[in-house]
Amino acid sequence: MLELKKILAFNLVVCILVSTLSMIALANQRIEIIRGGDFNDADFWLISPKGQARINNASISDGKAFLMVNETHGYDCFFSGVQQGKYPHGWDKKDSIYELEVRRNLEASPNCLWINIIAKRSKFTYYNESFSFVNLGIMLWLQLDENYDKPINESSQLEIDINIASFMYSNGEEKAITWDSHFVGKEPFPDRDYHYIDSSNNLMLEPDRWYEITIDAGQVLAKAFKAFEISNAKLKSFDIYIEAKYGYGEAEIEYVDFVLEPKLNSGYVIFQSLTYGVLVFLILTLISILSKMGRRLRRQAPRKQYASLIYYWLIHKAKKA
């Protein structure tokens, strides 16, 4: 019993050591998911794609991205922007982002994935007294299955909009949108995709001033995964966009990055480091038990052989008698 306690104590120390080293290693990761976020090289970005409901009112020059939308007919999904990666449904593609595998409670958890952006917006203009809106934000597309490239009426993928300036206009009043929403499909399109709109980062409340914003993208992904009961997905596309319905707006983007940089208190670090430590503890304990059983069997083997020899010698003597 004393020997077993010593073995378990040693294994526990190793478990704690492995968990601690794993936490340090995991928390010191930094993976850049997009490139060219200083906008000094426009080749990193798709500026005027042919894709769904997009207009050619975006440009990159002098180390900035310039976006403008002017929608006067009440169309949905009318926007301009700059994009990296691969859209779903056979739409546009510009090189590729780092296609990170995102798992619920790991990468899709608070304090793990970050978007940093420096941006300025204009004063928004609204054309319809009943209802108008203008949104400035970041769009992520994530692959859910092998049907990512199939047409929109044959595939269901995940789109996440993270609005950093989101306003609606009704009955003569402009109102900041600060609530999240989610839905499947979007009329009048033959759309089967999952859509999650996050407005908790709606921080650009004043026009004509620069904002430096840090977005906990892991927390946003966690909300979307929970809403649609998604366990894992793969990042495929990254947009910065401005959209409107009966509205006008402009934006300048000076810098953006999107990184995996988990903190010590993130689920990504805690769950994985504890898992590694527990696995090492169980493996060492199993090895110790098997080793102890092996030693016991080896000690018992000579006794059994000696007893067998005596038994056969007595039988042999009895036969002679």
Q: What is the dihedral of CA 135, 87, 34, 272, to 10 degrees?
A: 100
Residue whose entry in the numeric block shows the structure tokens 């596309």: 237
Is residue 7's pLDDT more than 90? no
CA distance 195 to 78: 16
More confident residue, 52 or 65: 65
Q: Give the pLDDT mean for 180-201.
A: 88
| Model confidence band, residue 4 (pLDDT cutoffs 50, 70, 90) | low
Contact 1, 263 (CB under 8 A): no
Q: What local confidence, expressed as pLDDT, does residue 278 receive?
A: 86
The correct CATH number of 30-261 out of 3.40.1130, 2.60.120, 2.60.40, 1.25.40 is 2.60.120
Q: What are φ and ψ of residue 196, in 5° steps?
A: -125, 125
How many Cβ atoms are within 10 Å of 245's Cβ, its own excluded?
A: 24
SS3 content of the chain, % helix, strand, coil (to 5): 30, 35, 35
Q: What local confidence, expressed as pLDDT, does residue 298 receive?
A: 61
Percent of residues, the chain, with pLDDT higher than 90? 62
Q: What local confidence, expressed as pLDDT, does residue 50 receive?
A: 46
What does the pLDDT look like over 80-128, one tens digit per residue? 899 999 999 998 888 779 999 999 999 999 999 999 999 999 999 999 9
Q: What local confidence, expressed as pLDDT, does residue 51 receive?
A: 47
Roughly what angle, to the nearest 10 degrees, separates helices 2-27 and 267-320?
150
More confident residue, 156 or 293: 156
Is residue 296's pLDDT more than 90? no
Amino acid at 127: Y
CA distance 169 to 245: 10
